[in-house]
Amino acid sequence: MTAIALVTGATRGIGRATARLLGEQGVTAIVGARDDVRGKAAAEPLGLPYVRLDVTDADSVRAAATWIEQEYGKLDILVNNAGIMVPDGPPSQSTAEQARQVYETNVFGVIEVTNAMLPLLRRSSAGRIVNVSSERGSIGRTLDQDHPLWPMLNLAYCSSKAALNMITVSYAKELWDTPIKVNAVDPGWVKTDINHGTGIKSVEQGAAPIIVMALLNTDGPTATFVQDEGPLHW
């Protein structure tokens, strides 16, 4: 039976590359996007289905879950990819409003989508949840003065990814004795719109570890935080 996947924020960048690469593996990868025009434009050339899904809109998320249930009856893979970053400086110059804006997508949106899709994932014989995190959310790496992350002080984005890592662990613990595996992935410094194309990896390279965790075998890990080079410090 064909595996069914949902990739949020899949109109461009890592999300679209993830949907495309899953499709090439024979997975029916649903392109989730909040804009109909861009969503259809991203999905149609890939021969993939599209569903409108705004992770910050609970009604939109529930409607997407209903549509997936009606069309496919289950969900095998959920890739929580949608994410945003806002420019900020030192923490003392950041604002609570900036943090709220980022958390609505990067944190609360993940919870909203995961909870809505979980009943469908429970119908899968081997459900997989992949949360697209960032090395910037690693407290261990952030505190390493010899690491390139040391000078980075983006409070809203970095703390949102640290929160996402704890969200990953929390779901993994709840689902520990089920076939569902929950992992966080750092795609690396990828050339995307979020960093104005300043990354060093292609979107395909960034999507590669996501694909690995999305297609884990039954003996694969859960509650891990990984990148191409291997496990990351929480």
Which of the residues 161, 171, 181, 191 is marked catalytic?
Answer: 161
pTM: predicted TM-score of the whole model, two decimal places? 0.95
Q: Which two tokens stand for residue 166?
A: 């704890």
Active site residue 161: yes
Q: Are the CB atoms for 185 and 77 separated by under 8 Å?
A: no
Strand order of the β-sheet with 225-227 is 50-52, 28-33, 4-7, 77-80, 128-132, 181-185, 225-227, 230-231
Q: What is the C-alpha separation between 119 and 122, in angstroms, rounded?
A: 5
Give the torsion through C-alpha atoms of 213, 187, 68, 110, to 10 deg.
110
Residue 147 confidence (pLDDT): 87
Residues 6+ away with beta carbon under 8 Å from 174: none
Which of the residues 157, 171, 181, 191 is marked catalytic?
Answer: 157
Q: Enumerate domains of the chain plus CATH numbers.
A: 4-231 (3.40.50.720)
Residue 106 confidence (pLDDT): 98
Residue 87 confidence (pLDDT): 83
Active site residue 171: no
Ordered DSSP codes for the chain: ---EEEESS-SSHHHHHHHHHHHHTT-EEEEEES-HHHHHHHHGGGT--EEE--TT-HHHHHHHHHHHHHHHS--SEEEE---------SGGG--HHHHHHHHIIIIIHHHHHHHHHHHHHTTSSS-EEEEE--GGG-HHHHT-TTSTTTT---HHHHHHHHHHHHHHHHHHHHTTTSS-EEEEE---SB--GGGTT--SB-HHHHHHHHHHHHT--TT---S-EEETTEE---
Spans in the chain with pLDDT lower than 50: none
